[in-house]
Chains A and B, each alone.
Chain A
Amino acid sequence: MQQANRLRPFFENITFDRVDNEMVLNFGPQHPSSHGQLRLMLHMQQEQITKAHPDIGYLHRGMEKMAENMIYNEFMPTTDRMDYIASSSNNYGFALAVEKLIGLEVPRRAKVIRMLLLEINRLMSHLFWLATTALDIGAMTVFLYAFREREYLMDLVEDYCGARLTHAAIRIGGVPLDLPDNFITDLRKFLDKLPANIKDYEDLLDKNRVWLMRMENVGVISKEMALSWGCSGVMLRASGVQWDIRKEEPYELYDEVEFNVPVSDKGDNYARYKLYMAEMRESAKILYQVADMYEGTPTELMAHAPQYISAPKLDIMTQNYALMQHFVLVTQGMRPPVGEVYVPTESPKGELGFYINSQGGPYPYRLKLRGPSFWHTGILTDLLPGHYIPDVVSIIGTTNIVFGEVDR
């Protein structure tokens, strides 16, 4: 059945011409340090890269197409699969975009819970980044330590929503559940230990000779390059641009909490590493403040907007009209007003944006997902030339790309 000439190449038809010393190296798509299905075609002179072509699309699931064929609430679990390291931040980005579209105000307790989830997700993502990048470079110990702390955070999220990786823990209009009893105490216990843990990682890495050799002055991104390539998040701040959407265009309760935005003007791998560590400390600071806000907030968890959001379960089970509306909203879906909206949020990886064009139907007419990793992969085209083969691994590591988000 299988035809010989289709899968097996016939070498007698190919001639190998050697004109210069250039070699084309195929890196990936199944390389352990490519953090997903990234294929790089590297043109090389000896060990030095002269040209790089990132090839993506191995994880393309057509989420934008799926979104056009789903009601808004149905799409929420799909957003989990974008940046699956910090899935609540994707849920939140989508929920916020739809809320902006229909003009909803979310109850305060839901805001507090969302803030907690967002920052826990940021910590999870940064810890995961540290662990895998350190592992790529050979620091096995840091990998084990960072995964241990990430495990505690995943336990917390599990206590809240039951899921560990794909949370779907945020709804359009609020959050589905209140915090479990011990959540705040457990979180505080974790946060009290976190600074010592971060110090452990830094003790292991900061002055480590191998780490410095692989990180310092490698993968330098200039400010112009970062801006031109649409970089965001740590990739941008490591290149000397002070821009954090949480600070500059605050959403949720970020204007009520005190935190710093760490910036570096070095632009190399080491600067990005230092920023990730600093951001973890800032996240912990935010979490302490938000944990204090929870006590005493009114108990509403979902916004009251009968046209778009189902009533609380108690009302659905006791009142006829709430039940009818719930039925319509579940079977047909909400119909946001006609218009379009682009809402950026600061996800752990950078600017996560949702562009929604609604024509008043229950399905979005067009939904564009802006995953920051897409351009952080694109920048490899300009970033890799001039570097050597071992640098590729550390550069991919510090760009912190996740392929669920690149390919969508």
Chain B
Amino acid sequence: MRAYTPKDNVQKKSYYTDRFWVAPQVAKSAVSDDAVFAADLDAIKAKFDVLDAYIQVDQMVVVIHANDNYAVLELLKNEREYTQLSEMSAIDWLATEGKFEIFYQMLSMAKRKRVRIKCKIDEKEAIQSVEKLFRCADWSEREMYDMFGVVVNNHPFMKRILMPDDWEGFPLRKTYPLQGDEFAAWYEVDKIFGKEAREIIGPENRDPARIDRYDTKRFARLGHEVPFGTDISQGEPDTPLVYQEQKGVFMVDKFDTQKSVVISDRHR
């Protein structure tokens, strides 16, 4: 019987799991431990619902509702001195929860603090663009759309950024195989020559170490060289190894260790 592989997450799985092993957690501490973070959190809590908040590895994590994302970032930028959005992207939780998690990594240079704002949206749900607040979100949101298919509302130029415009599928989803799907495998062939040429051209060789011993156009067997492109599938002609001039090659002097100078220092 063929082993069952879940279709909703085709990423590599560890082949060995100990069923009694409990994964340790990265320590979380309460926000009240840090006065600066506590003040920021109070400012957010005064206006918005906060689902969860904690400090992990010196950074505050605040979980909010997805439709508050613009307003919370606006508050952080204008009132709490978080002037830079250093990073944002999504995490695919479709297999377990049917949701995307979106995180905004904020930096306050005045306070030397970093905050991560997180929210969750459904697969078909769109999220509000924060491009009006931070211009860098223009590209980040395009990348998020390109990689996950998360649609962003009110974005000035919602288009793929890394993949070609006519690409199908979203590469960073857990359902997308590492080697690419069928569309990816035949992308160039379909586009340039048409689908009907698939059989003539054949699939791409993805194994860089593959050597076809009958291919005399790209490979040569040392000591058994044959003229370029000779068909050797029915056995090869005998080509004995022949050396060049026995007394050395014309115009090439023999290396003499006595006459040479060894440089020990490279004159740094």
Contact = CB atoms under 8 A, between A and B. Distances in A.
A364 to B, nearest CB: 10
Q: Interface size for chain B: under 10, 10 to 19, 20 to 34, or 35 or more residues?
A: 35 or more
A68 B177 CA distance: 11
B24 interface: yes
Nearest to B146: A57
B230 interface: no
B259 interface: no
A355 B91 CA distance: 11
A351 B266 CA distance: 35
B109 A228 contact: no
Given A338-B23, A338-B24, A340-B26, 4 more contacts: A62-B172, A332-B16, A342-B87, A378-B136
A360 B23 contact: yes
B172 to A, nearest CB: 6
Interface string B199-234: 010000000000000000000000000000000000
29 contacts: A6-B192, A57-B161, A57-B163, A62-B171, A68-B12, A101-B57, A155-B268, A193-B268, A232-B86, A243-B109, A249-B112, A332-B14, A332-B15, A333-B14, A338-B23, A338-B26, A339-B28, A339-B56, A341-B26, A342-B87, A344-B114, A351-B86, A353-B105, A355-B103, A357-B91, A366-B92, A370-B105, A374-B139, A378-B139
A407 B160 CA distance: 13
A342 B193 contact: no
Contacts of B194: 3, 6
Nearest to B17: A361
Contacts of B162: 56-57, 60, 407
B25 interface: yes
Interface string A180-215: 000000100110010000000000000000000000
B76 to A, nearest CB: 13
Nearest to B137: A230
Q: Interface size for chain A: under 10, 10 to 19, 20 to 34, or 35 or more residues?
A: 35 or more
Please list the 9 inter-chain residue pairs (A to B) with the smallest Cβ-Cβ separation, ordered nearest first. A339-B26, A360-B23, A230-B136, A57-B162, A337-B24, A378-B139, A69-B12, A228-B135, A189-B268
A64 B109 contact: no
A258 interface: no
Contacts of A353: 86-87, 105
A379 to B, nearest CB: 8
A360 B22 CA distance: 9
A362 B23 CA distance: 11
A23 B141 CA distance: 29
A237 to B, nearest CB: 12
A276 interface: no
Interface in B11-56: 11-12, 14-16, 23-28, 56
Contact of B135 (A229, A341, A357): A229
B23 A355 contact: no
A339 B25 contact: yes
Interface of B: 11-12, 14-16, 23-28, 56-57, 59, 61, 83-87, 89, 91-92, 103, 105, 109, 112, 114, 116, 134-136, 138-139, 143, 147, 161-164, 171-172, 176, 178, 191-194, 197, 200, 266, 268
A81 to B, nearest CB: 15
A340 B28 CA distance: 10
Contacts of B24: 337-338, 360
A286 to B, nearest CB: 19
A390 B103 CA distance: 39
A103 B28 CA distance: 13
A66 B25 CA distance: 24
Contacts of A332: 14-16
Contacts of A407: 162
Q: Is chain A's binding surface mostly helix, strand, loop or mixed?
A: mixed
B210 to A, nearest CB: 20
Contact of A229 (B11, B56, B136, B143): B136
Contacts of B191: 6
Interface of A: 1-3, 6-7, 56-57, 60, 62, 64-66, 68-70, 100-101, 103, 152, 155, 186, 189-190, 193, 225, 227-230, 232, 241, 243, 248-249, 332-333, 335, 337-344, 351, 353, 355, 357-363, 365-366, 368, 370, 374-375, 378-379, 381-382, 407
A375 B135 CA distance: 9
A3 B28 CA distance: 61
B59 A342 contact: yes
A365 B91 contact: yes
Nearest to B163: A57
Contacts of A186: 268
Nearest to A62: B171
A248 B176 CA distance: 40
B60 to A, nearest CB: 11
Contacts of B84: 227, 230
Contacts of B161: 56-57
A100 B57 contact: yes
Contacts of B91: 357, 365-366
A100 B143 CA distance: 27
Contacts of B164: 57
A161 B91 CA distance: 36
A101 B26 contact: yes
B26 A337 contact: yes
Among B135, B147, B192, residue most surrounded by chain A Cβ atoms (within 10 Å): B135
A17 to B, nearest CB: 23
